[in-house]
Chain A
Amino acid sequence: MQTWSLVSICVLLAIIARWGVSLNSYSGAGKPPMFGDYEAQRHWQEVTYNLPIQEWYFNTTNNDLNYWGLDYPPLTAYHSWICAYIAKTINPEWVELHKSRGYESTQHKLFMRMTVLVADLLIYIPAVVLYCLYLTDGSSKKKVSIMFCFLLYPGLILIDYGHFQYNGVSLGFALWGILALGLGWDVLGSMAFSLALNYKQMELYHALPFFCYLLGKCIKTGLIGRGLFLLVRIGVTVLATFALCWLPFLAEPSQAMQVVRRIFPVARGLFEDKVANTWCSLNTLIKIKSILSGDSQLYLSLACTLLAVLPSCIRLLTKPTFWHFKLALVNSSLAFFLFSFQVHEKSILLAALPACLLLNDLPLMALWFLQASTFSMLPLFLKDGLLVPYIVTSLGFLFFSIYLLSALDHCSEDKLRLGAYNKLFYWLPKMDLAFIVRWKFYISIAAMVGLSIATAVLIPPPHLPDLFPVLVSTTAFLHFLGTFIHFNVVQFSEPPSRKSQKKSN
């Protein structure tokens, strides 16, 4: 069979999975007064459609920022505005100012779900397809298998099509950026990434690797001469893209400042809910929130984040290859997730995207991490009534990624890149690391399955109401920390000797 038909069947399957999930409930369905992210997105349509652009980010009589005020950068707002226009032509009630609050109907749900699918079809899915076709190696069947697993990553599907968000847009732009960088189109890549940053500020998790990779490349080409020229071109592109996105807010400095303040709400705490990062997990032992003041929490997290990001970024700066870039993306986004301020559980998607890029090189580790990342959002899925799709997509992803990528068949030490550990622990007796890793994988999957069942079925003891969410987040945290350390070690060990290392240019 030709590649095109395999690719189209994969894409169609991915669409089916997405639409299948979207038939289920969304966050805050029928839960007044605040509802959930679904209502937030609808509310932004209402606000952007009815109010002048200067009022979007300000608290006014018509725009109550306490009720799902806009807190994403301008591109999100423009996207809402476009959706609102379409909504208006279909049914004006959907975006009527004030009156449409908490509007819910099956038709509206269909419309909202459709906007997500359209955005995905335009941005995320083509990027994945092109990435897998052009930047992974192997036979065309191998490429299609990678694409299939990439497209079926459950976390993103469940959050975008179940919970309801537009992560596909920002991640899609970031992926376009990665794709362009991989193909050597640095200027286009930086433009795509600037768009991603302007869609969701969380894309900052990926910003340092992008910066270091491009800077490292410029330095390598020679900072006096062509490298400088490239650097200037990239800089100008980024500035121009940003200026274009922020154009309506640049007239008055106060406007731009307000947008920035909305985007970075430092006034909120170190963490919210049960998120599988360091601070929340540490909280079970030490109550950091009560020990430290708000400012010192901020500085502490900033320092830790920088410290965690630094090694992989410096390594990338000195070796700006695509292989290191991919690893640095995982490492940096995981460092941000684990240590930065005000992290949401959904932010793990930012680490999951670059992990998907490694499905080809390090299948077992990548799919292990991806599975853990989906698992970490379990309490959220349960709250949204997405248990069945969670089970179906997770089982499907686990099964097909293991089967199609033969993840468990070839897990020699060499394939898993465990060589570095032997050097690190030279003083220990030599062990069969691949064997240990494989068993760790089985145990961890069993633990995730067990905890999923327990969370869904069992009722926690009355004095420990948060028992299962805490267990879930701590388990996930351990996985993330392990992945973070492992990928850092991989980045510092020798790059793969085979051709699988795709250099830019």
Chain B
Amino acid sequence: MAADSCSWFPALAVGVSLLKCFFISAYRSTDFEVHRNWLAITHSLPVSRWYYENTSEWTLDYPPLFAWFELGLSQVARRFDANMLQVENLNYASPATVLFQRLSVIVTDVVFIYAARECCRCVREPKGSRDVLSRPSFVLAVLLLWNFGLLVVDHIHFQYNGFLFGFLLLSVAKHLQSQHLQGALLFAFLLNLKHIYLYVAPAYGVYLLRSYCFAQDNKDGSVRWSSFSPLRLLALGAIVTSVCALSFGPFIAMGQLPQVLSRLFPFKRGLCHAYWAPNIWALYNVLDKSLAVLGVRLKLLEEAELPPASMTGGLVQEFEHSVLPSVTPAVTLVCTLLSILPAVASIWLRPHGAQGFLRCLLLCALGCFMFGWHVHEKAILIAILPLSILAVESREDAGIFLILTTTGHYSLFPLLFTPAELPIKVVLMLMFTIFSFTALRKLHSAQGSLLHPLEVIYLLGLVAVAIACEVVFPLSPWQQRLPFLPLLVTSVYCAMGVCYAFLRLYASLLLRREEKPKQL
């Protein structure tokens, strides 16, 4: 392999882009049709109709900037196959359409590749020329570019997350490089592209306020109130409001804001997605279910009194818990806020620079993932990708990273349920896992093992779960009676790992807070 200092980055990028091309004719989910429909809506309808159009059930429910992005794509799409741009052509998927849509994801990933490059630049390189394969920047580049979750969600399942994560990582990189205004601008764009990134907005808000608007700290790291710079706050405010105005302005002018917001935040959906994301609510549901079963067994509950067992029905609907109190959106909101409060408070009190910000961002993402309303399993990527940056720098984070990525990635398995894609997901996952384990171990080899034996046993348990769910279960008679059992087992088993990683990450943030002042 060429020992040249940075020739490996283009090689990795080209390699993964070609790999993505292999999946052009693979399985694609309904999200493919969702995005085709949005192309059609933005291309063939006036702006005023965008958020009202409902010929297809997949209405436009991303913020306006993303709609503009789709409009841009549709200009190219016209040259591939103009028929895909008609709103009435539901489920239209000619070969040219598939090729165009797939290529659009692969090409817009350039943003992600550039962001990964910037992130690699922020990593401290240890002194002395080491083997390319065990340099932190190389490892980080692979962890980001070849991320299993992104490959599966974007290039097989079909979404534009790579493009969006490009903005997020680029903004994080800008913060790491202390270019806060650029970082804020990028994040404002990101929020107006996809509002799921509101998850991490508290971290941004507090960090920018604390570390940018207050120019100086006291000796002990606490905030120095006198150093407040109104000019900086004004600049930040101007950036954020101008981006939002650019995005939402036309709709406010047309008086459509309530309609747009009702599309963006559909609270009519249930607590959990059809397949439960591995979070607290998955555990809560299972606890409720087992209490109900136990209650019926012990004759404490009457079976007839219980609400029908709709939660394993796999439909996106609200359902009532049988024993435990039902969860409302307000409760999830309070839980979420409570869960991220310590993290946000911690960076307010002791910012610890951009590293502390990154940690807080992760905790916000994970907190929302753990307690949020109707969370998708794909949202775990918001935590996994930025955590890669920390994983190459510290041993403890590397351990957390391994647990979180392995469980988080495994929890994406049910996204691809077609037999033809089974080898792909298994092999891709194996590849990424083998790389992350060996590379991170090599990177932190001087400081002992990364995982506790119990953690290793837990992760090995995933293999057992995988074999049981993917191989044994489909052949067993239970397939007929309990078709959703594998999903349930997967999400519960993964939920434990994600919870554990969340707690450890919290511990690392809070404990570090006490360590640092001693060193000063």
Contacts and interface: CB of A to CB of B under 8 A. Distances in A.
B is a partner of A = yes
Interface of A: 1-2, 5-6, 8-9, 12-13, 15-17, 19-21, 23-24, 106-107, 110, 117, 141-142, 145, 388-389, 391-392, 395-396, 399-400, 403-404, 406, 409
A83 B427 CA distance: 24
A259 B21 CA distance: 43
A141 B133 contact: yes
B1 A5 contact: no
Contacts of A404: 1-2
Interface in B396-453: 419-420, 423-424, 427-428, 430-431, 434-435, 438-439, 442
A19 B424 contact: yes
Contact of B427 (A19, A21, A110): A19
Interface size class of B (residues with CB under 8 A): 20 to 34
Given A5-B438, A106-B420, A392 B21 contact: yes
Given A8-B434, A19-B427, A400-B15, A1 B1 contact: no
A117 B423 contact: yes
B22 A15 contact: no
A23 to B, nearest CB: 5
Contact of A388 (B11, B24, B428, B435): B24
B345 interface: no
B26 interface: yes
Given A23-B23, A388-B99, 12 more contacts: A1-B438, A13-B19, A13-B431, A19-B423, A20-B22, A107-B419, A110-B419, A145-B1, A388-B25, A392-B18, A399-B11, A406-B2
Contacts of A6: 133
B2 to A, nearest CB: 6
- Among B15, B23, B423, max chain A CB count under 10 A is at B423
A106 to B, nearest CB: 7
A145 B99 CA distance: 31
B132 to A, nearest CB: 9
B59 interface: no
Contact of B430 (A12, A19, A106, A142): A12
A388 B431 contact: no
Contacts of A400: 11, 15
A13 B428 CA distance: 8
A227 to B, nearest CB: 43
24 contacts: A1-B442, A2-B438, A2-B442, A5-B434, A5-B438, A8-B430, A9-B431, A9-B435, A12-B428, A12-B431, A13-B19, A15-B427, A17-B19, A19-B424, A110-B419, A110-B420, A392-B18, A392-B21, A395-B18, A396-B18, A400-B15, A403-B11, A404-B1, A404-B2
A9 B423 CA distance: 15
B428 A16 contact: yes
A15 B425 CA distance: 12
Contacts of A107: 419
B150 to A, nearest CB: 15
A8 B435 CA distance: 9
A409 to B, nearest CB: 8
A343 to B, nearest CB: 31
B365 to A, nearest CB: 28
B56 to A, nearest CB: 26
Given A5-B435, A9-B435, A16 B1 contact: no
B86 interface: no
B346 interface: no
B216 interface: no
A231 to B, nearest CB: 44
Given A9-B431, A403-B2, A404-B1, A392 B22 contact: yes
- Among B18, B21, B439, max chain A CB count under 10 A is at B18
Given A23-B420, A403-B2, A16 B19 contact: yes
A313 B350 CA distance: 78
A191 B321 CA distance: 68
B134 interface: yes
Contacts of B420: 23, 106, 110
A6 B23 CA distance: 23
Given A117-B423, A400-B15, A9 B2 contact: no
Contacts of A388: 21, 24-25, 99
- Among B7, B19, B430, B431, max chain A CB count under 10 A is at B431
A2 B19 CA distance: 24
B14 interface: yes
A275 to B, nearest CB: 28
Contact of A399 (B14, B24, B438, B439): B14
Interface in B79-100: 99
A237 to B, nearest CB: 37
Contacts of A5: 434-435, 438
B20 to A, nearest CB: 9
A227 B26 CA distance: 56
B208 to A, nearest CB: 38
A380 B24 CA distance: 21
- Among B2, B420, B439, max chain A CB count under 10 A is at B420
Contacts of A141: 1, 133
A142 B26 CA distance: 33
Contacts of B22: 16-17, 20-21, 23, 389, 392
Contacts of B15: 396, 399-400
A316 B1 CA distance: 33
Interface string B24-39: 1110000000000000
A107 B418 CA distance: 11
A383 to B, nearest CB: 16
Contacts of B21: 388, 391-392
A396 B13 CA distance: 12
A1 B424 contact: no
B434 A9 contact: yes
A269 to B, nearest CB: 36
A404 B434 CA distance: 21
Given A5-B438, A15-B427, A141-B1, A23 B18 contact: no
Nearest to A106: B420
Nearest to A141: B1
Nearest to B21: A392
Given A1-B133, A110-B419, A396-B18, A24 B25 contact: yes
A264 B233 CA distance: 84
Contacts of A395: 18
Given A110-B419, A145-B1, A400-B15, A23 B26 contact: yes
A144 B385 CA distance: 28
A15 B434 CA distance: 15
B428 to A, nearest CB: 7
A1 B431 contact: no
Contacts of B442: 1-2
Interface in B95-111: 99
- Among A1, A6, A117, max chain B CB count under 10 A is at A1
A456 to B, nearest CB: 13
Contacts of B23: 20, 23
Contacts of A117: 423
A395 B14 CA distance: 10
A245 to B, nearest CB: 31
A249 B438 CA distance: 53
**Top 10 A-B pairs, shortest CB-CB distance:** A20-B22, A5-B438, A12-B431, A392-B21, A396-B18, A19-B423, A1-B133, A23-B25, A12-B427, A1-B438
A137 to B, nearest CB: 16
B427 A20 contact: no
B33 to A, nearest CB: 19
A90 to B, nearest CB: 12
Nearest to A139: B1
A406 B235 CA distance: 50
Contacts of A399: 11, 14-15, 18
B431 A16 contact: yes
A96 to B, nearest CB: 22
A406 B4 CA distance: 11
- Among A8, A23, A106, max chain B CB count under 10 A is at A23
Nearest to A12: B431
